[in-house]
A and B are shown apart, each in its own frame.
Chain A
Amino acid sequence: MIEQVQNPALEIHDLTVSYDKKPVLWGIDLSVPKGAIAGIVGPNGAGKSTLIKSVMGLVPLSSGYVKIFDEELNTVRKRVSYVPQRESVDWDFPASVLDVVMMGRYSKVGLMRRLRKADLEAARYALQQVGMEKFEKRQISQLSGGQQQRVFLARALTQQADIYFMDEPFAGVDAATEKAIIQLLKEMASQGKTVIVVHHDLQSVATYFDWIIMLNLRLVASGPTEKAFSQELLEETYGGKLTLLTEVGELMKKGQYPTREKQ
């Protein structure tokens, strides 16, 4: 079940991504409307992080293209924000909470310029939004995992972007904070911002997201949650197909299959 929309915030066309010639994402075709809060779900290793990384231009594409607001990433980069998975950095780095949140302002400030008072205020405001204002001077290594996650969220918020890509922003965050943050994201969406979130908890999908992307190496579904979030498609995403697809990936690596077959 793949629903395409007119005038999308994010458009992915015929995307294939491989690591060492082994495809991990395969023929992805989807679009996400503006102002949506979209969830990406799928089992471990389904390629959720890879999908976000390929949208952010962090991994090379084997085929296909990505458009954001109908433009190339480079021309709209200032309107795009990214929350990486928390494990991607070393939290023992000598930096304070505020130092990290201020990084969200770097692209706005530009090369060789110093951060200004307005940037500081934006950073403080973002910290308030995620309930971390009391920790601004603390070294990042002295935070709990959930607090570190909130710092990453605040950093993305200070960018004041129009589209946000978040890789498991709720991992390790307590239930109350998660609710507060979802509330925040919903407010942002109501102002026309688009938020795309990798999410693991299937229980909360229906209440959190109005758009759902189900992924397992290939795209299983992309559409409004009420239509696409069905038992059948969930089984297809998480069910026995996983092993089969991995086998196909292995075969392709050995060069026994053409790069793409019509489904």
Chain B
Amino acid sequence: MNDLIIIVTGSLVAICCGILGCFLILRKMAMVSDAISHAVLPGIVIAFMLGSDLDSIWMLVGAGLVGVFTTFLIEFFHRQGKLQTDASIGVTFTWLFAIGVIMVSYYAGDAHIDQDCVLYGEIAYVPIDPIITDSGSVLGPKALIVLSIVLLVILAVILPFYKEFFLTSFDPAYAAAIGISATIWHYLLMSLVSITTVASFESVGAILVVAFLIVPPATAYLITTRLHHMIGLSCVFGILAAILGYYIAYWIDGSIAGAMATVAGLNFGFVFGWTQIKKARPVTSPPISQD
């Protein structure tokens, strides 16, 4: 039973991340997700200090706001200061993250929050941390429930507005010209990424969530020619990583989240190798003439 809970939790992280990650890499913003995953740290600590439980809805809302703020700062330094995007990302998230680190070290004594739990997470604890209602009945593992809600939110945003996300990712200038503001969708996507990061950090940690956001979509990108295939396939790769990763970790008795991310990386390696071999094969038939 616990196995299943852990695998399902990992798969939920993989699906949430797989969907959003596709848009991130197509917008050439893979590293923005890295920035956000670090920048939410002060938000997490503040929510924690306020005495609210970690699973409170405010935590997700706060994460969304921090994500928007991070995105705004990155854009602001880039636009106003003419700073390169990557430099702008570097300045923004290290600063926010550093504040978070100070806060964590300062409050480490009186709360069960520490660097390790935020940065690396521990998916093995998911089954033993249930949500208990006021009347005392057990609803189920907290991470599992929170991630399910996040997935529903993501689907509720992406499905109805798929074509807007598609167009603003491909050609923001044309989108603006026909009256679809690229900015709104940009910030909406970034809030979803922040929410996902926070919802995942307990199980896989703030660092490995980036692996789930980037690696399966990048793998799918190599072998797909349509966006919806890419999204579907990156979810499949993510789930595969969650399942295989769990059993490998079990077998070597190591970090589960680490094993999952490693499998995702190996997966990328295999697919990349396969596309290279396919490319190198000699042409066997003459080209078909076309006008």
A, B co-complexed? yes
Instruction: Please provide the chain A residues from 204 to 258 with a CB less than 8 Å away from any CB of chain B in the complex.
Output: none
Q: Which residues of A contact B229 (CB under 8 A)?
A: 94
Q: Shortest distance in angstroms between A255's beta carbon and chain B's nearest beta carbon?
A: 19
- In angstroms, Cα B227 to Cα A73, docked, is 31
With an 8 Å Cβ cutoff, the count of chain B residues facing the other chain is: 27
Residue A94 contacts which of B161, B164, B224, B290 (CB distance < 8 angstroms)? B224
| Among B166, B171, B174: residue with most chain A CB under 10 A | B174
B170 touches A58 (CB 8 A): no
Q: Shortest distance in angstroms between B165's beta carbon and chain A's nearest beta carbon?
A: 11
Size band of the interface chain A makes with B: 20 to 34
Residue A107 contacts which of B179, B226, B290 (CB distance < 8 angstroms)? B179
Query: Which of A23-31, A95-103, A190-198 participates in binding chain B?
Result: A95-103
Residue of A nearest to B176 (CB): A58
Query: Which of A6-14, A38-46, A63-71, A81-89 participates in binding chain B?
Result: A81-89
A-B contact count (CB 8 A): 78
Q: Shortest distance in angstroms between A143's beta carbon and chain B's nearest beta carbon?
A: 11
A58 touches B290 (CB 8 A): no
Residue A84 contacts which of B169, B174, B221, B225 (CB distance < 8 angstroms)? B174
Q: Which residues of A contact B224 (CB under 8 A)?
A: 94
A107 touches B178 (CB 8 A): yes
Q: Shortest distance in angstroms between B155's beta carbon and chain A's nearest beta carbon?
A: 14
Given A84-B171, A90-B26, 9 other A-B residues pairs in contact with their CB atoms under 8 A: A88-B173, A94-B225, A103-B166, A103-B167, A103-B171, A106-B167, A107-B180, A139-B225, A141-B225
Cross-chain pairs A/B with CB under 8 angstroms, 22 sampled: A53-B173, A57-B177, A77-B178, A77-B179, A80-B177, A82-B178, A84-B174, A88-B173, A89-B171, A94-B221, A94-B224, A94-B225, A94-B226, A94-B227, A94-B230, A95-B227, A96-B226, A103-B166, A103-B167, A106-B163, A106-B178, A111-B161
Chain A interface (Cβ < 8 Å from any Cβ of B): 53, 56-58, 74, 77-78, 80-82, 84, 88-90, 93-96, 99-100, 103, 106-107, 109, 111-112, 115, 131, 134, 139, 141, 155, 159
The 5 closest A-B pairs by CB, nearest first: A139-B225, A107-B178, A82-B177, A56-B177, A77-B179
Chain B interface (Cβ < 8 Å from any Cβ of A): 26, 28, 160-161, 163-164, 166-167, 169-171, 173-174, 176-180, 221, 224-227, 229-230, 290-291
